[in-house]
Structure formats: structure tokens, C-alpha cells
């Protein structure tokens, strides 16, 4: 079957950004480069017992939302952006559809308030009442990334081809901030395998983290260059970014959102989700303290973070009146809090994280999720631990890609004096 070309009608989108069609033998086909509603000719790239993976070669019936990719690197095979062929409005619709589908399939939660215009994806689960899924603020899709991780071949940085190890060297990148783009074009990275480029859009500071070593690296004079070997030996260089008027220290080994306007958009939704309840804020998986700093004004803040560098950054960014605990959240000893925000890794809270959150007794929880399947699994875990899901807000942070970011609001179900749920 591999290498065979199939004529397929694709009717919906799956987690990961591919569209779904049905093959001649009844297996589901995940098609890259197609848009729901199109009929395409697609070549099979991989075969599994219950599914096929394919790439669209020719569009027979074209979606009105199909556009010419704005970045010339797509034609060269660059796999950095998988939705360059889809108009921005349809991209937003598809991200919402992915979230709704995951909630329906994985968490058994049906959604309402997801009406689409004619020809768009229907709400999964029919008209069943449930949780409203609201779009968040749509952000400009060009030149937004202040952090990129790229491969290196023969000293030049580039993005891997889709589903391949081959690297496409780039001198321009439509979604990278101009200060990142210039490092991509001018940087020479010696014998490195990989490099992460990070800039502070507000401060102009720039840094590259090179794996395995920064030996032989040539970058503009203002760029801090550090090797992964130096980080392992204890070196802790950092840059700064400003979000919401707050200056954040971000060390080379610390996670930070890839765009400051996106970080602010997330914090605004989190702040709104927690605003009804006063009292101590738990910032779980707090990173450098983004949500604690932006949403914790007037509150006592407790931050929990496993990364030593990020925890050290959070202690500075949150100030002396906050408590920062360096620990795996799943091993942290819970303490009572009024509200909590959790921003776990792509794998989500899992049972251990959900247990810790529930044991704080938080009246309200804001869950930040970067994977819709993890969001759905985490939602079910929290529902099973005494919470109800009030809202999910999908925020467009990663234009031209199928990446989905969402903030979900959970409220603790009422309990009587003996801790039993009421109603």
C-alpha cells in the first residue's frame, strides 16, 4: 500500500493537523496537506493495521479556504509549518473542532456554542448541552515566534522536512521574529546538531543554546552563545522579556511562551477564569512564574516548578512575598489554596497532578493545555475528582500550524459539611 495513490474525500480534522478520509479497504487515512471538504489524490507514506498516513499530491475539489503558502520554504519541503495552505479564519475553526472532538471522544463531554457557518465542521456530540468552547483572541500570524528550535547540518540552521530527518536550511522564516530570523540567516553553528534561538522582543536581548557545544559557533556580537555542555556544568545565562509591564528573567534552560503577546493573552484568560474567588493562588508547573506574576496581584502566590533554572527565575520574577518550591508537582505536599492555575507539559496533568490539584481544595482551577488530547484526559480526571468544567477558551498562538493552545475553567462542585458533593 505504501506508495499507492488514492482518491479521497476528507471530511474532518484530527489532532496533529491532518485531515481524515476513508480508504478503499475501510481504513482511516490521515492526509497531510488537505482541508476538510476537499477531494484529493494522496500518496500513502505509512501503513498500520488500522490506519494509513498519506500526503495530498493533487487537489481535485478545492476548498474555498485554500490559499497559496505565504512562505517560499514550503515549496522547498520545510516542515516547520503544516497549515500554510489554510486561510487564517479556517485555521481557527479547525483548532476549535479538534478541541471539541477530543472532549467528546476522550472525556465524554459534549459541547455547545460551537456553531459554524455553512461548510464548516459541525459540533461533535450533536446538540447536547455541556461546556461552551469559545475562541480566544486571534493573534497576528507573521513574525511572531521569539523562540525556535532548529536542526543544524554543516553548520547551517534549518527545519526538518515533514516526516523526515532531512533538513531544509533557511535564511528567512515567515513566523519567526525578525531578531530570530537574522540569527537563522547569519548564524554558523559549527558541528552542532541542534540550536534553540531565543530573543526578548521588548528588550532586544538574544541567546542561542547549542547542542552539544558552542565551540565553533559564529553569531552576531550581541547574541549570547552557550552550549548544552556548559549548562550541564552549571552555567546559567539568561535574557529578559517584558509582558504586561513585568520584566521576566528567562534562563537558557527555562521554558517560556514563544511570543510575549501570546503569553499576555493566556494570562488574561487565566486571570478572568480565577477572578471570582479571592485568596491564595497556586501556580503549578509555574515555569518562570508567568501566571503567578500576571494573575497574582493582591494575592499570596505559591509556585511549584521542577526545573532548577526555571524555579530560580520564578523566585526572582515573583519577588520575596511569593513562595517558590522546586519539586515535581506530583510529589509536592498540597496546601490549602483558593484558586490554582496549572500549565503542565504536553503530556498533561495525569493522575498524579490531578490528585495534587484536587487535594488543595481550590475553588477554581485554570488549566492551560498545549495538546487537545491531554486537555480532554485531564478534564475527565478533574471531573472525577469533584470539579465541573465551565468553559474552554481556544487561543490562536501558533498561526500557520496545527498547534492548539487552550485555557479551561473548572469549579469545585458544592460539598456539605462532611465533604460530600451536593446535587
3-state secondary structure the chain: CCCCEEEEEEEEECCCCCEEEECCCCCEEEEECCCCCCEEEEEEEEECCCEEEEEEEEEEECCCCECCCCCHHHCCCECCCCCCCECHHHHHHHHHHHHHHHHHHHCCCCEECCCCCCCCCCCCCCCCCCEEEEEEEECCCCCCECEEEEEEECCEEEEEECCCCCEEECCCCCCECHHHHHHHHHCEECCCCEEEEEECCCCCCEEEEEECCCCCEECCCCEEEEEHHHHHCCCCCEEEEEECCEEEEEECCCCCCCCHHHHHHHHHHHHHHHCCCCCCEEEECCCCCHHHHHHCCCCCEEEEECCHHHHHHHHHHHCCCCEEEECCHHHCCCCCCCEEEECCCCCCCHHHHHHHHHHCCCCEEEEEECCHHHHHHHHHHHHCCCEEEEEEEEEECCCCCCCCEEEEEEEECCECCCCCECC
User: Are 423 and 318 contained in the same domain?
Assistant: yes
Same domain as 271, residue 230: no
User: 135 and 162 share a domain?
Assistant: no
pTM of the model: 0.92
* Catalytic residue chosen out of the listed positions 71, 102, 286, 370: 370
Reading phi first (left if > 0) and then psi (alpha if -120 to 50, else beta), residue 3 is in left
Is 211 part of a structural domain of the chain? yes
CATH number of the CATH domain containing 325: 3.40.50.150
β-pairing, 238-243 with 19-22?
unpaired
One domain for residues 202 and 96: no
Digitized pLDDT (tens) for each residue of the chain, 423 residues in all: 899 999 999 999 999 999 999 999 999 999 999 999 999 999 999 999 999 999 999 999 999 999 999 999 999 999 999 999 999 999 999 999 999 999 999 999 986 543 322 333 444 444 344 677 888 888 887 899 999 999 999 999 999 987 778 999 998 999 999 999 999 999 999 999 999 999 999 999 999 999 999 999 999 999 999 999 999 999 999 999 999 999 999 999 999 999 999 999 999 999 999 999 999 999 999 999 999 999 999 999 999 999 999 999 999 999 999 999 999 999 999 999 999 999 999 999 999 999 999 999 999 999 999 999 999 999 999 999 999 999 999 999 999 999 999 999 999 998 755 566 665
Whether residue 33 has a cis bond before it, omega within 30° of 0: no
- How far from 85 is each of 17, 82, 367, 415, CA to CA, in Å? 12, 8, 31, 50
Of the candidates 407, 408, 406, 402, the one whose C-alpha atom is nearest the C-alpha of residue 141 is 402
- Rounded to whole angstroms, the Cα distance separating 230 from 11 reads 49
How far apart are the C-alpha atoms of 107 and 383, rounded to whole Å? 9
**Could you say which of 238, 268, 299 is where a domain stops?**
238
Q: Is residue 297 part of a domain?
A: yes
Going 245 to 249 to 250 to 256, the CA torsion angle's sign is negative
Q: Could you tell me if residue 81 is inside a domain?
A: no
Q: Which of 238, 270, 293 is the last residue of a domain?
A: 238
124 and 263 part of one domain: yes
Q: Is 99 exposed, middle or buried (0-12, 13-18, 19+ CB in 10 A)?
A: buried
* 246 in a structural domain: no
* 69 falls within a domain: no
How far is the C-alpha of 320 from the C-alpha of 286, rounded, in Å? 16
Q: Is residue 253 part of a domain?
A: no
Residues 233 and 266 reside in one and the same domain: no
- Which of the listed residues 238, 273, 296 is the one where a domain comes to its end? 238
Count how many domains the chain has: 3
Co-location of 271 and 292 in the same domain: yes
Asked if the structure places residue 25 within a domain, the reply is: yes
Closest by Cα among 144, 145, 146, 98 to 124: 98
Q: Residue 309 is part of which domain span?
A: 87-141+259-423
Q: Give CA separation, 114 vs 270, 276, 419, in Å.
A: 21, 25, 35
Give yes or no: 286 in active site.
no
Residue 23, CB half-sphere, CA atoms under 13 Å: how many?
23
Q: Are the CB atoms for 224 and 250 separated by under 8 Å?
A: no
| Residues 100 and 127 grouped into a single domain | yes
129 and 24 housed in the same domain: no
Q: Are residues 233 and 345 in the same domain?
A: no
155 and 129 belong to one structural domain: no
Same domain membership, residue 117 and residue 219: no
What CATH number did the domain enclosing 21 receive?
2.40.50.140
Q: Considering the domain boundaries, does residue 377 fall inside one? A: yes
Nearest to 261 by CA among 206, 317, 203, 201: 201
Amino acid at each position: 500500500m505504501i506508495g499507492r495513490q488514492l482518491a479521497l474525500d476528507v471530511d474532518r480534522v484530527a489532532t496533529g493537523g491532518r485531515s481524515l478520509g476513508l480508504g478503499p479497504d475501510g481504513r482511516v487515512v490521515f492526509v497531510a496537506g488537505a482541508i476538510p471538504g476537499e477531494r484529493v489524490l494522496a500518496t500513502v507514506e505509512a501503513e498500520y493495521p488500522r490506519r494509513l498516513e498519506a500526503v495530498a499530491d493533487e487537489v481535485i475539489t478545492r476548498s474555498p479556504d485554500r490559499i497559496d503558502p505565504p512562505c517560499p520554504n514550503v515549496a522547498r519541503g520545510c516542515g516547520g509549518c503544516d497549515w500554510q495552505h489554510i486561510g487564517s479564519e479556517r485555521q481557527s475553526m479547525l483548532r476549535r473542532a479538534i478541541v471539541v472532538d477530543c472532549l467528546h471522544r476522550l472525556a465524554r463531554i459534549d459541547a455547545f456554542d460551537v456553531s459554524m457557518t455553512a461548510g464548516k465542521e459541525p459540533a461533535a456530540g450533536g446538540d447536547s448541552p455541556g461546556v461552551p468552547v469559545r475562541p480566544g483572541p486571534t493573534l497576528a500570524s507573521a513574525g511572531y515566534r521569539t523562540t525556535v528550535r532548529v536542526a543544524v547540518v554543516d553548520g547551517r540552521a534549518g527545519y526538518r522536512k515533514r516526516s523526515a530527518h532531512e533538513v531544509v536550511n533557511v535564511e528567512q522564516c515567515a513566523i519567526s521574529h525578525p531578531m530570530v530570523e537574522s540569527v537563522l540567516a547569519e548564524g554558523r553553528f559549527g558541528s552542532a546538531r541542534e540550536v534553540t534561538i531565543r530573543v526578548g522582543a521588548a528588550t532586544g536581548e538574544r541567546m542561542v543554546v547549542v547542542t552539544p557545544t558552542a565551540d565553533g559557533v559564529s553569531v552576531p556580537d550581541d547574541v549570547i552563545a552557550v552550549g548544552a555542555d556548559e549548562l550541564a556544568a552549571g552555567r546559567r545565562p539568561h535574557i529578559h522579556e517584558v509582558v504586561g509591564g513585568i520584566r521576566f528573567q528567562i534562563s537558557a534552560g527555562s521554558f517560556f511562551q514563544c511570543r510575549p503577546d501570546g503569553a499576555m493573552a493566556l494570562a488574561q484568560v487565566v486571570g478572568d477564569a480565577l477572578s471570582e474567588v479571592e485568596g491564595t493562588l497556586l501556580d503549578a508547573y509555574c515555569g518562570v512564574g508567568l501566571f503567578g506574576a500576571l494573575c497574582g496581584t493582591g494575592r499570596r502566590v505559591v509556585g511549584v516548578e521542577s526545573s532548577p533554572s526555571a524555579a530560580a527565575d520564578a523566585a526572582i520574577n515573583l519577588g520575596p512575598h511569593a513562595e517558590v518550591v522546586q519539586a515535581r508537582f506530583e510529589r509536592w505536599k498540597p496546601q490549602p489554596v483558593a484558586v490554582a492555575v496549572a500549565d503542565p507539559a504536553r503530556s498533561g496533568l495525569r493522575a498524579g497532578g490531578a490528585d495534587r490539584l484536587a487535594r488543595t481544595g481550590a475553588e477554581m482551577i485554570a488549566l492551560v493545555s498545549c495538546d487537545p488530547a491531554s486537555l480532554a484526559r485531564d478534564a475527565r480526571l478533574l471531573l472525577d475528582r469533584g470539579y465541573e468544567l465551565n468553559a474552554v477558551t481556544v487561543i490562536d498562538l501558533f498561526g500557520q500550524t496545527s498547534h492548539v493552545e487552550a485555557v479551561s475553567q473548572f469549579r469545585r462542585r458544592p460539598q456539605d459539611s462532611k465533604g460530600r458533593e451536593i446535587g
